[in-house]
Structure 1
């Protein structure tokens, strides 16, 4: 079967807009909910929250591609990019590059999409890579650009992109489409519809030797931000990473035809879930701020260290809860002292306790605030 870009009507995607209308309405409703939740956070805390959300997205969009980054290093680089302090030593080119791209996306979401923008993002992402021939430009190699899996003797080709000789023309047309469908463009499209088409359209062209997935997700977020007139800050990569197989399967199901209603509903559902995840994270951050306000000055140094570590685990927390052994490992204290510390935290209402003996587990008591 031919790929979608081999169809005579490429890239004129078709879809049932009526199917997407309730999803578009839900997106706008949840966008308002996110804005409302952020109003409960002071300016300084908003800056911290912004860095946390952007860093989580930067780490997850890289993790989808099999690149594991240090979250603290990414946050340090983000703060530096935003003019909030010096970058800590030891930040890798990959960590600095994804940070630079995310900050550029955040700051310049409203600008038109151009080759220059995409080339700059590509240079940021791959500045330390020595395996890619063309960095900061579209691919030029004559070999077919394929997405494959399996061993060499039994490879499965999931997709083959247009030849490199077509990249200049394909991307000129893509950029024009993206800018024309913006809210102030010639042919504006609703938020989810535009972001979904943009992502699929871009990854089907696959214009770079490497980095297409990360840049494709950045384009989707740029699209959403333009429709909202502000950075979306949604946990898109975080949500995709949790259902990575489903995400790639959906892309594969929709790379052979130009009728993409199924893709758009799947991607819209992913964005809506990403919004809900972000709202939960904002609520978590608000609860964290209130927690520290309530218990300010009540913890010793060991307890402070453990509580901070528990909050760093995020919404999901320690898998199965914090154990006494976890406390020992984090605080580097004796078992007797750990027992007293934990009992004190429970009595103060900072932690809740479940189970008995070696099955005892502790959880942050966010309901206390």
Structure 2
């Protein structure tokens, strides 16, 4: 197969801009809604939401690569990097590194994307790794950089990147385009198109020995935010994780061509879906504030701990609902105390009960509509 970087016109990507107009309009409309809803958040809730979004992105962008991180450790590390109070738990290098990259991304979102930023992100992403030759710098190895699956005797090559000797020059061209295409640059490009193009271009160069996927998704997040008058977190990683197989397939198809309209449409659909997920998270935080305000001064420490743990699970909540056993694990309460605490929470309107006996489950009194998948056909 001939890869896009092997074609004569590389890196002159092309696309059908009119086909992306509806997607760009929907994205900007969603930004306006998110800004309007976010104005109702107080400072504490806004800070809590930012930490939640950053931790979800950190965990999910790593999960796309098959790496499972501890949620509480990631949140603790993010809080520490933001200078906020938190527990003093020991955090493993992987959790600490991706947390630091997320804080760096969102605190410096308006700053230009340059080589120093990318190298810094790479050091964060591979924090604690001892198996890599090139950390915080472009790859230098002589072997081909390939993405391969299948058995050793019959591997399937999904992609092969340019040789290491070409990476420096390729990245100069990429970063020059990033600067020119920004709002106010010499050749500005609309947010979705710029972010989608940057993602496939960066992944095609694959400049680092490892961590390119996480860095590429961080680039997309940064560029989406830069394209808005008021930067809003889109939260792409969680949606891409939900569509991981389709995501990899879309990338693989795009690696073989310079005409990337289909890729940009797919990326745009998932960005809009991600935006809707984030908006649901904002609405959930507002609902949390209303519920907890109604319970102020009425809960004991155990009940408050359980309620906050349920809210921490997000709009999708506890899978299968909260059981008495869950409550006992969270609070350390014995059976009789658990029964009284849960009954009181139901009576106060803090929880809703369903089922009977062993099938009894408890839910937050908040209804959140599921986010349906946004597809290319929806953007026609």
**Residue in structure 1 matched with residue 365 of structure 2 by the alignment:** 365
Tell me, yes or no, if the aligned pair for 1:199 and 1:216 is still in contact at 8 Å: yes
TM-fit CA distance, 1:87 = 7.3
Deviations 1:191-250 (A, max 9, x none): 100100000110011000001001101111111111114443122111111111111111
Provide the residue aligned with 1:98 in structure 2: 98
1:105-131 deviation per Cα after TM superposition (whole angstroms, max 9, x unaligned)? 212222222211111111122231101
| 2:153 is equivalent to residue 146 of structure 1 | no
What pairs with 1:107-186 in structure 2 (closer than 5 Å)?
107-186=107-186
Q: Secondary structure at the match of 1:346?
A: helix
Distance across 1 between alignment mates of 2:314 and 2:106: 23
> What TM-score results when the alignment is normalised by the length of structure 1?
0.95
Render the CA deviation track for 1:85-120: whole Å, top value 9, x for unaligned.
477241222222222222222122222222111111
Answering whether residue 343 of structure 2 is matched by residue 343 of structure 1, we say yes
Verify the 8 A CA contact 2:147 2:160 in the aligned structure 1. Answer: yes
Distance in 1 separating the partners of 2:115 and 2:327: 51
Q: How many angstroms does 1:352 deviate by?
A: 1.2
Alignment partners' CA distance in 2, 1:112 and 1:344? 53
CA contact (8 A) 1:94 1:127 kept: yes
Deviates more, 1:104-113 or 1:166-175: 104-113
Q: Check if 1:57 corresponds to 2:57.
A: yes
Distance 2:312 2:4 in 1: 44
Say if 2:120 and 2:136, in contact at 8 Å, map to a contact too: yes
The structural deviation recorded for 1:73 is 2.2
1:66-95 Cα shifts (integer Å, max 9, x gaps)? 222222222222222222247724122222
Q: Return the alpha-carbon distance in structure 2 between the equivalents of residues 85 and 300 of structure 1.
A: 23
Q: In structure 2, what is the equivalent of residue 220 of structure 1?
A: 220
Q: For residue 333 of structure 2, what is the aligned residue in structure 1? A: 333
SS of 2:227's equivalent?
helix
Between 203-212 and 252-261, report the one with greater CA deviation. 252-261
Partner Cα distance (1:117, 1:349) in 2: 48
Shifted more, 33-42 versus 148-157: the winner is 148-157
State the partner residue of 1:200: 200
Runs of 4+ aligned residues of structure 1 deviating over 6 Å after TM superposition are: none
Q: Which residue of 2 aligns with 1:83?
A: 83
Residues in 1 aligned to 2:316 and 2:223: alpha-carbon distance in whole angstroms: 29
Which stretch shows the higher mean deviation, 45-54 or 279-288? 45-54
Structure 2: 5+ residue runs without aligned partners?
Answer: 368-380
- Count of aligned pairs: 367
Instruction: Report the alpha carbon displacement of residue 289 of structure 1 after superposing the two structures with TM.
Output: 1.2
How big is each residue's C-alpha offset from its partner over 1:9-52, in whole Å with a ceiling of 9 and x where there is no partner?
A: 11111111111100000110100111111100112221222112
Q: Secondary structure at the match of 1:148?
A: strand
Secondary structure of the 1:314 match is coil
RMSD value, Cα = 1.6
The 1-side partners of 2:305 and 2:78 are apart by 24
Structure 2 CA distance for partners of 1:302 and 1:81, relative to 1, 3 Å: closer
C-alpha deviation, 1:317, in angstroms: 1.0
Partner of 1:269: 269
Hey, what's the Cα distance between the residues in 1 that align with 2:336 and 2:83? 45
- Residue of structure 1 equivalent to 2:243: 243
In structure 2, C-alpha distance between the alignment counterparts of 1:235 and 1:204, rounded to whole Å: 22
Contact preservation (8 Å) 1:225, 1:231: yes
Aligned-residue offset at 1:334 = 3.1
Alignment match, 2:255? 255
- Measure, in 2, the Cα distance between the counterparts of 1:341 and 1:99: 35
